[in-house]
A and B are shown apart, each in its own frame.
Chain A
Amino acid sequence: MKKHHYNPDSCIACTSCVAYCPVSAATRKFAGPKMMGPALERFRGGETNTDFSLDYCANCKNCDISCPSGVPISTLNMLARAKQYKNKRRSLLDWMMSHSDLMSKLASPIAALSNFGMANPLTKMILKQVGITDKMSLPKYASKTFLQQFRAFKQQSFPDKVVFFSGCFINYYAPEVGMDLVAVMQRNKREVIVPEGLDCCGSPLVGKGYLDEAVEKARTNIAALKHWFEQGIPVLTCCTSCGLMLKMEIQEMMDLELMEQLAAYTYDASEYLLELHAQGKLSTEFAPVAGCYIYHTPCHLRAQGIGKPSLELLSMIPGFQIEDADAGCCGQSGTYGFEVAKHDIAMAVAEPVLKRIREFQPDFIVSDCSGCRLQLSQGTGFPALHPLTLLRRAYEGK
């Protein structure tokens, strides 16, 4: 049997998932993970009814994490969503929210113009008509993508290699995080490889029910990566949703050759560095880093079941003080919080962690997930960093 074979049969209706579902706590529009997942799965034989309640699942995975019976509840929801929307006309909003990679490809080369275009009131009004909230600022395109910056950068060559799967957000919106990863790896005598032909990981597509397209992306990515992981070279991610897709979701939702091997060689970048540390290979020549920090654990990191590796790494910086917010989901769930219909739910979900951060008054919020960083930063007014950025600062003594 597949490692992540989905099995609604294991549900004992204990309702833990409902107790831990942040969306269920925020709205009655969602019938809850137990009902939408394993309970309704028993009635999803032949034809399916369109169930709008299904749209409210944010795929944050807290149900899967809390399930004592190992039922991948959110995956059942995503598969049902894909089935529900197969061959149906979709809204422009759904298309836009799931194809940001395509839109970025078009918009990113003219980043300054695009950012101006997206920020002006007329565009905001049009976006609102489409269903994108004007209560949040959309992320800004970087003037140079990660790939452009990486190709222009001269690395020192080392015998130890790592492959980096940057994902769309880092490539188009936060290339500096990718370059931080490269710097941290170079410090640890690792050469970073970014293979040609990588595509979006497919997470936004899965979230909107475009499963067939996500399968194609996964197939493309496996083809681009297999040359490396088949030699035993690890594949690193520092976007927790990309990581979850490569490690778990592909196996749960798809049936592709080599997917188990890919999963076995995929590491969250911090997880990988901790492993180096365990082997005595991590450089710990850290300079002190000043400031007051609070750490937020992304749900998709918790779903990977690897603890909080970034927090462990950062605690190795001498004298470094960082508070663990430990206040639940931020509500953003990728693009969920951008939608007019769901923004208020996302904000209700976020309230405990926003309150925690506001009260803590940090200099910086630290989180591995770009969606979380956007949400928490906009929700509190404090800037947010990726842990690798801090780690690089510690290495470089800045």
Chain B
Amino acid sequence: MKKTTAVIIGGGATGVGILRDLSMRGVAAVLLEQRDLAYGASSRFHGLLHSGGRYAVKDAEAARECAEENAVLRKIGRHCVESTTGYFVRLPEDDPAYEAKWVVACQAAGIPVEPVDLARAHRLEPHFSERAAAVYEVPDAAIDGFRLCRQNVLSAKRYGGKMMNYTEVTSIEQQNGQVTAVKTRNTLTGELGSIECDIVVNAAGSWVGQVAGLAGIKINVIPDRGTLIAFNHRFTDRIMNRLRPPANADIFVPHGSVTLLGTTSSPTERPDDFTPTTEEVLALIDEGKELFDELPRYRLLRAYTGTRPLYCADPTAATREISRNFVILDHAKEGLDGLISIVGGKLTTYRLMAEKISDAICGKLSVQAPCRTAEEALVDDIAPELMQQAKKFFPTAGVELAASRLGPDLAETVQRIQANPAKKELVCECELVTLAEVETVAHDDTTFTMSDIRRRTRMGMGTCQGTYCGLRGLGMMVDNDLARGMTTENLLREFLETRWNGIRPILWGQQMREVELTRGIYGAGLNMDGAVPDETE
């Protein structure tokens, strides 16, 4: 039986933040994730690193926390944060009284807010509505949830932290009111295991209720569906917010080559209710076009859905009304020492949440080491010499992209190309991902599926949504003998299925034509759906 001090359940931002914090303080910790890092809300969101502006009027404390953590993450997370800045735009139909209240509230919360001359704003962002009545600039930024989680784990590893993905907890063992171990099951292979521990941290996000349930404890978490859409282009270089009380479809976030629009809000029963609907997409576009007049004409890439883990003592509250603040629940109160849950909160404040819960854990363990997560960068900067070397091999726009995706793995990727220049060929032309990069990620011992590669490289996340890279990526997996127990058919099916889950609700216009090409290749060309013999013949 394996042994550690703390087992953290959940590979989202909160979990990896705790793993990093505890590891840096010298507490032995293992993180268990049922699927892959950032499988839940940590990637299924708009990727906005809040300035705090969105919460300023309603929740001053949340706003202040966002403002502080925003500054910290820009510093420690340079390689997963794009410091774009953001605009809050009031349209003529939005209440001017709210604008006045908002400016005062931002200043009170310590959020730097600057009015922007309308002509200047339109020059810098030519696509948003000419009808805009007022524009303010705040330090919003774009953050990549996949990279954030990955880089926290990389940082934790340097201090001895461990991460196991595709590992779910099947039971929390206890003796005399004290946690003793967790039993695990590999969700890909079914292999069983157990880890002896003193502390179990339940950071399972929307699954926090299920995990607590394993120990017979009830937590009232309402998973709240939020659907977003990704557009094929980066039509804004800044975060664009609607200056009005928070509502649906009022945040646009540029990410690399795409723009994301969110969000909807509706309660659901299941934490993995991840299938977006056409109605949600249409509602987003309908409301979003108030800020971007041309929006209905922009090409949609896909839609995706996440669930926010909203915690509420009062189960009857409307979901937008529930505070986005987090709560730490020490279940010693309910008679189980060693089990701590963290619920609610938002990605922007993940580090602070991790700090608070790690303080609590260290208190229990009498560990004196202070939190240092706000001081040290998640990953080191890439050496300029390596960037120079890489520039020889990558498509011109591709070097910076690859460097920001790969971080410390860039060196290995460059070595692969040096050893065999043919590996600079692109597997994914839409997102400029080389074969060498895909191979580097595929060889990592936490990579199992093609979707794992996708999350780390963006292979399959661009215009063609996997039409070409699916085949090429599969060829690479088979060539390198990396199928790891999965059949080639299942590897491909898993990859395509995740793509199609986001495309089904947007089957019209240009993406419909794209899908017909994809279906032609995989359905007709490769017979992915399996032919049924015609019995009438």
Q: Which residues in window 22-43 of A have CB below 8 A to B? A: 31, 34-35, 38-40, 42-43
**Closest CB of chain B to A23's CB: distance in Å?**
17
Interface size class of A (residues with CB under 8 A): 20 to 34
Count of inter-chain pairs, beta carbons less than 8 A: 64
Contact B257 A12 (CB under 8 A): no
With a cutoff of 8 Å between Cβ atoms, the chain A residues found around residue B234 in the complex are: 42, 45
Q: What is the size, in residues, of chain B's interface with A at 8 Å between Cβ atoms?
A: 27
- Whole-angstrom CA separation of A322 from B10 in the bound complex: 76
- Whole-angstrom CA separation of A46 from B257 in the bound complex: 11
Contact B513 A12 (CB under 8 A): yes
B237 at the interface (CB under 8 A from A): yes
A13 at the interface (CB under 8 A from B): yes
Contact B467 A43 (CB under 8 A): no
Contact B397 A51 (CB under 8 A): yes
- Whole-angstrom CA separation of A46 from B256 in the bound complex: 11
**Closest CB of chain B to A197's CB: distance in Å?**
34
With a cutoff of 8 Å between Cβ atoms, the chain A residues found around residue B467 in the complex are: 13
Quick one: which of A12, A38, A49 contacts B397, CB cutoff 8 A?
A49
**Closest CB of chain B to A275's CB: distance in Å?**
34
Contact A35 B395 (CB under 8 A): yes
**Closest CB of chain A to B478's CB: distance in Å?**
23
With a cutoff of 8 Å between Cβ atoms, the chain A residues found around residue B299 in the complex are: 9-10
B430 at the interface (CB under 8 A from A): yes
A interface: dominant SS: loop
A118 at the interface (CB under 8 A from B): no
B449 at the interface (CB under 8 A from A): no
With a cutoff of 8 Å between Cβ atoms, the chain B residues found around residue A13 in the complex are: 429-430, 463-464, 467-468, 514, 517
A50-B396, A51-B396 known; A9 vs B514 contact (CB < 8 Å): no
B interface: dominant SS: loop
B98 at the interface (CB under 8 A from A): no
Contact B401 A39 (CB under 8 A): no
Quick one: which of A34, A38, A69 contacts B513, CB cutoff 8 A?
A69
Contact A40 B510 (CB under 8 A): no
Residue of B nearest to A11 (CB): B463
- Whole-angstrom CA separation of A13 from B466 in the bound complex: 11
- Whole-angstrom CA separation of A43 from B461 in the bound complex: 14
With a cutoff of 8 Å between Cβ atoms, the chain A residues found around residue B462 in the complex are: 42
Residue of B nearest to A32 (CB): B429
Quick one: which of B237, B257, B464 contacts A43, CB cutoff 8 A?
B257
Contact A12 B237 (CB under 8 A): no
Output the residue of A39, A46, A51 with the most chain B CB within 10 A: A39
A14 at the interface (CB under 8 A from B): yes
Quick one: which of A12, A43, A46, A69 contacts B401, CB cutoff 8 A?
A43
Contact B396 A49 (CB under 8 A): yes
With a cutoff of 8 Å between Cβ atoms, the chain A residues found around residue B232 in the complex are: 9, 42
Residue of A nearest to B231 (CB): A9
Quick one: which of A9, A12, A31, A50 contacts B464, CB cutoff 8 A?
A12
Contact B429 A43 (CB under 8 A): no
- Whole-angstrom CA separation of A286 from B314 in the bound complex: 94
B233 at the interface (CB under 8 A from A): yes
Of the A-B pairs whose beta carbons lie under 8 Å apart in the complex, a sample of 10, sorted by A's number, is A9-B299, A12-B464, A12-B513, A35-B395, A39-B463, A42-B232, A42-B234, A42-B430, A45-B254, A53-B395
Known: A11-B463, A44-B397. 9 other contacts (CB 8 A): A8-B233, A12-B510, A13-B430, A31-B395, A39-B430, A42-B463, A43-B401, A49-B397, A53-B396
Closest 10 CB pairs of A and B: A9-B299, A42-B257, A13-B464, A49-B396, A43-B397, A51-B396, A12-B514, A45-B234, A12-B513, A39-B429
